[in-house]
Amino acid sequence: MRTYVTLIIFLSILLVIFTNYTSITYYSSLPSLNPSLNSLQTVPQINTESKKSSTLLTVSNPNLSTVTYTISLTSCSSSPTLKHDSSLIGLIDGSLILRHSILTHSPTPPNFIAFIHTTAKDTPCHLELERGGWECKVVDTPLKVSDIKTDNIRRNIEKNGCCGDKELIKLYAYTLTTSDVVIMLDLDVLLLRPLTSLINSISISPEGTASYTEDWGMVNPGKKPGAQGGFIVIKPSLRVFNELIDIVLNTPFNEKNLPGWNGSGIGPFWGAMTVQGLIPYYYQEVKGAAVEVLNRCMYNNMRDNPKVKNGEECRGPVKGVMECEDCREKKVEDIYSTHFTLCQKPWGCQLNGKPWCTVLHDEWFYTREKMEVAVLGGDFTGKGMRGYCKKGGKEGYERVSDDVRSMINK
């Protein structure tokens, strides 16, 4: 009997040791922003940050998929200024806070890649992204506009959407086949919760699988919406990359009769000739790979009004729908990521903005303060927007300091 009890105690001790050994603190394996971060206690469950704590996410038994986050830089002045109205401030601070929000909500260390168009190579924007911890890959547009067979696309793609044909450099994310999952983001995005379920789903899916949100604000009721280019999650695939480029080179695109890609009705709208229209055409019409359209209020929430101006009919692919989810009403704790488009950029210091925007701006500033605490030490105060906006407007914004920027990637 005594031998049996001793054996039970011995096995219990082994079980406790094994459990603690497999419990992983996510920041311990990253290049430390501050040496003190590596002394964090490990805990055997996920802990979500509260707004009054700078504690970093810890997790046990994490999914070990290789995840890469990508952003794209299509242009930059060779001599931008750091005046308050300069887009360089948004690029620098936006990329730093985005990266920290990803790190905070990642169970395992992700990769960070910025695709830099050749016209932006070695510009201050390029150099600041490298300094901020992004691995920069200089790339050219993945096709020659002169090779496009459809006259309408060849004449208009260079001025389509935000960035013309240069927007297609986002598609290089499909070539990152050493990663299980690639998440394409814009610089004005913020992660608010871990994307664990979405990442797990994509990682075990066939190559080329994608998940994205639709941009209802770009179409009238009954029209097919485009993909919102600020949040697209994929399983990389060289085959899909080549097929997407082939569509741009060889597929008709009409503006009026039988509109959109090959008469599909996907387009015309903002960016329809590039990523925003190309992605839904490929996945919903060509059906070249599996796709999931995500809830746009939970992922990539832009606080958009889902209805037309008269406030009755809903936008979206089905005409005559009167009831639809209003993303302005979504609680922050139920949002996985937000995209600062309609609410404007946090560094614009909208002190008297709409309340549904202000709460998300505050989340961006909370993340900024947590990043600074992680780098410089100190206590988290939760001061939010008013701690960094001395007055309303871009002129009132207080930039991330050089001290923080110089330490962020060490």
Res. 57: pLDDT tops 90: no
**pLDDT band at residue 368 under the 50/70/90 scheme:** very high
pLDDT class for 107, splitting at 50, 70, 90? confident
Q: What is the pLDDT of residues 243-274, one digit of tens each?
A: 999 999 999 998 887 799 999 999 999 999 99
Higher confidence at residue 56 or residue 400? 400
pLDDT digits (tens, 9 = 90+) for 153-175: 999 999 998 899 999 999 999 99
80: pLDDT confidence band, cut at 50, 70 and 90? low
User: pLDDT confidence of 48, banded at 50, 70, 90?
Assistant: very low
Q: Percent of the chain having pLDDT more than 70?
A: 82
Written in H, E and C, the secondary structure of the chain is CHHHHHHHHHHHHHHHHHHHHHEEEHHHHCCCCCHHHHHCCCCCCCCCCCCCCCCCCEEECCCCCCEEEEEEECCCCCCCCCCCCCHHHHHHHHHHHHHHHHHHCCCCCCEEEEEEEHHHCCCHHHHHHHHCCCEEEEECCCCCHHHCCCHHHHHHHHHCCCCHHHHHHHHHHHHCCCCCEEEEECCCEEECCCCHHHHHHHHCCCCCCEEEEEEHHHCCCCCCCEEEEEEEEECCCHHHHHHHHHHHHHCCEECCCCCEECCCCCCCCCCCCCHHHHHHHHHHHHCCCCEEECCCCCCCECCCCCECCCCCCECCCCCCCCCCCCHHHCCHHHCCEEECCCCCCHHHCCCCCCHHHHHHHHHHHHHHHHHHHHHHCCCCCCCHHHHCECCCCHHHECCCCHHHHHHCCC
The pLDDT assigned to 78 comes to: 66
What is the CATH architecture of 59-340?
Alpha-Beta Complex (3.90)
| Residue 256, pLDDT score | 80
4 has a pLDDT exceeding 80: no
pLDDT for residue 51 is more than 50 = no
